[in-house]
Amino acid sequence: MAELPDPTDTLDAADKAVFNEMAAVRAHAEGRAYLGQVYVRMFNNAGVAMRVGALGEHLRFHGVLPDKIRELVILRFGVRQQFGYVWSHHQRAAKLAGISQQEIDQLTAGDLPSDLSDSSRAVLEAVDAVVAKRSIPADVQARVVRAHGNAGAVEIVGLCGLYTIMGDMVRAFDIPLEPGLPKAPF
């Protein structure tokens, strides 16, 4: 087991202030007033935690993608990469963004939700290309860009990168899922 310690009690005042701000920013989306364990453990290197946190905050709360599209990307990526921690943490956010339980179940099973628009289907096809470590097909990218612009296409890939960091941290350091969150079925 490669578990990292919880460094919260050893943070200096400046790092603790950033830690608390990161928790506050995420409280609404995550439904709790404390920082997720992946970030807590990342604070063993506060500089990394702050920069990853800033990227996450930008992509999740200030990006160009609509909430529903962003959460579809995160859930699809989490399922395809078998990142249960990511899947668990985004159940609430997905529902707040308007994703139905049926759509979540279809994504969790590895399927594309049956009632997706063509542009939403293209977004998830782009995620699949990233997971497969290949170029996004030109027709898929064109559909994504028509719906969300080049900035949206960049955000999709950026979200995949962000959640790769998160998922790898969880796996590498055996970071536990917080009590009360749904456990991924994979």
pLDDT value of residue 171 = 96
| Domain-located, residue 47 | yes
76-85 per-position pLDDT tens digit: 999 999 999 9
Same structural domain, 15 and 73: no
Question: Average pLDDT for residues 59-73, to the nearest whole number?
Answer: 97
User: Tell me, what's the pLDDT at 37?
Assistant: 96
Q: Which one-letter amino acid corresponds to residue 111?
A: D
Q: Is 140 found in the same domain as 49?
A: no
For the record, the structure tokens of 117 come out as 């628009």
Global pTM reads 0.95
H helical segments located in the chain: 13-30, 37-42, 46-61, 67-80, 84-89, 91-96, 101-108, 118-131, 138-172
Question: Which band of pLDDT confidence, cut at 50, 70 and 90, is reported for residue 68?
Answer: very high
* Pair 72, 129 in one domain: yes
Q: Is 20 a member of any domain?
A: yes
CA torsion angle 132 72 22 57 (round to 10): 80
Residue 13 confidence (pLDDT): 98
CA distance 73 to 32: 22
Question: For position 28, what pLDDT does the model report?
Answer: 75
Question: Is 16 inside a domain boundary?
Answer: yes
- Identify whether residues 136 and 162 lie together within a single domain: yes
pLDDT in tens, 40-61: 999 999 999 999 999 999 999 9
93-143 pLDDT tens trace: 999 999 999 999 999 999 999 999 999 999 999 999 999 999 999 999 999
Whether 124 is in a domain gets the answer yes
Whether the per-residue pLDDT at 32 is higher than 80: the answer is: no
Residues 54 and 115 reside in one and the same domain:
no
Tell me whether residue 6 is in a domain: no
Q: Which domain holds residue 94?
A: 67-172
Asked if 63 and 123 count as a contact pair (C-beta separation under 8 A), the reply is no
User: Into how many domains does the chain fold?
Assistant: 2
